[in-house]
């Protein structure tokens, strides 16, 4: 009973802080990102992050005919209700949902990659697997002379999201492509910057993009994630349903 009450309190607090944070982020996010003809790679730790964080941007780029590749790093095998047993087909279900969502956003199936690293363990990969991941990402980035790369925020309050960001930063630093690097907040949006001492200095180069022309498309893509949206709940999903998307542009990292 105590756990249930604590859960409700946490949920209530997150509902308030996430709305407040969204308002603050939007106020601070200037200027507006113009959607260019530069090809895009979106790197998502899990099957849903790409749509929640960048679904509108992806759809806008695709409307212009710009190539968009989506790379899913983990197999999504951890995406089930805490305290329950994993459904045996969870990986296949999430892959199917991801193909449906990215299809709604206009990404051809041949531009969607599943790397199948173990969900919830991306921050604990051994050195061989970690290097393999960085090298796969580097190869992917090298397909274009000029590129925009989008990845989850480096302090996104989820070990998989933060590990994915680190791998992408290393791959960008090794890539021969001319890359603009953007991070999209996911768990930060829900948990709020008031957790784990996040500071405004963690959000330099805030930039926003209006997704109004494709807003309905993004909402439709979110609905493809049937296995996840019931679990996350309305208040959480509302963080990703705005007509603006928010990014942090980072300077290109140097080769380690
Ligand atoms: Zn995720």
Establish if 255 belongs to a structural domain: no
pLDDT over threshold 80, residue 163: yes
The model's pTM? 0.92
Task: Report the separation in Å between the CA atom of 228 and the middle of ligand 1, taken as the mean of its atom positions.
Answer: 11
CA of 62 to the centre of ligand 1 (A): 23
33 in a structural domain: yes
Position 256 scores a pLDDT of 65
* Interval between CA 185 and ligand 1 midpoint (Å): 10
Is 103 domain-assigned? yes
Full residue range of the structural domain in which residue 170 is found: 2-250
Residue 178 buriedness (CB in 10 A; 0-12 / 13-18 / 19+): exposed
CATH code of the domain covering residue 6: 3.40.50.10320
Count up the domains in the chain and report the number: 1
pLDDT of residue 83 exceeding 80? no
Q: Is residue 256 part of a domain?
A: no
Helix axes 215-223, 90-105, angle to 10 degrees: 170
Four-CA torsion 20, 25, 27, 29, nearest 10 degrees: -170
What pLDDT does 85 receive? 74
pLDDT at 194 over 70: no
- Average pLDDT in the chain: 91
Q: Is the pLDDT of residue 129 over 70?
A: yes
Distance 156 CA to ligand 1 centre (A): 9
Domain membership of residue 185 (yes or no) is yes
Q: Distance from the CA of 52 to the center of ligand 1, in angstroms?
A: 9
Neighbours of ion ligand 1 (CB under 5 A): 45-46, 49
Residue 122 contacts residue 74 (beta carbons within 8 Å)? yes
Sign (positive/negative) of CA torsion 188, 189, 193, 199? positive
Given a cut of 80, whether residue 81 has pLDDT beyond it is no
Would you tell me how many other CB atoms lie within 10 Å of the CB of residue 105?
28
pLDDT digits 0-9 by tens, 27-65: 887 767 789 999 999 999 999 999 999 999 999 999 999
d(CA 55, CA 52): 6
- Ligand 1 centre from 208 Cα, in Å? 21
Is residue 200, in this structure, part of any structural domain at all? Answer: yes
């Amino acid at each position: 009973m105590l756990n249930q009450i604590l859960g409700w309190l946490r949920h209530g607090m997150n509902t308030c802080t996430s709305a407040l944070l969204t308002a603050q982020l939007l106020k601070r996010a200037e200027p507006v990102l113009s959607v260019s003809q530069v090809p895009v790679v979106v790197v998502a730790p899990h099957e849903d992050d790409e749509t929640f964080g960048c679904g509108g941007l992806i759809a806008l780029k695709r409307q212009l005919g710009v190539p968009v590749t989506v790379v899913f790093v983990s197999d999504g095998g951890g995406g089930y209700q805490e305290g329950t047993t994993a459904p045996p087909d969870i990986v296949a279900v999430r892959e199917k949902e991801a193909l449906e969502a990215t299809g709604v956003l206009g990404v051809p199936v041949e531009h969607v990659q599943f790397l199948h690293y173990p969900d919830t363990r991306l921050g604990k990969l051994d050195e061989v697997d970690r290097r393999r991941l960085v090298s796969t990402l580097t190869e992917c980035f090298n397909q274009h002379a000029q590129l925009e790369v989008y990845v989850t925020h480096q302090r996104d309050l989820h070990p998989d999201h933060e590990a994915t960001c680190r791998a992408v930063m290393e791959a960008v630093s090794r890539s021969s492509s001319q890359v603009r690097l953007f991070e999209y907040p996911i768990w930060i949006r829900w948990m709020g910057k008031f957790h784990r001492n996040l500071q405004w200095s963690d959000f330099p180069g805030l930039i926003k993009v209006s997704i109004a022309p494709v807003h309905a498309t993004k909402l439709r893509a979110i609905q493809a994630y049937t296995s996840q949206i019931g679990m996350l709940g309305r208040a959480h999903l509302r963080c990703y349903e705005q007509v603006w998307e928010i990014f942090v542009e980072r300077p290109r990292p140097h080769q380690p």
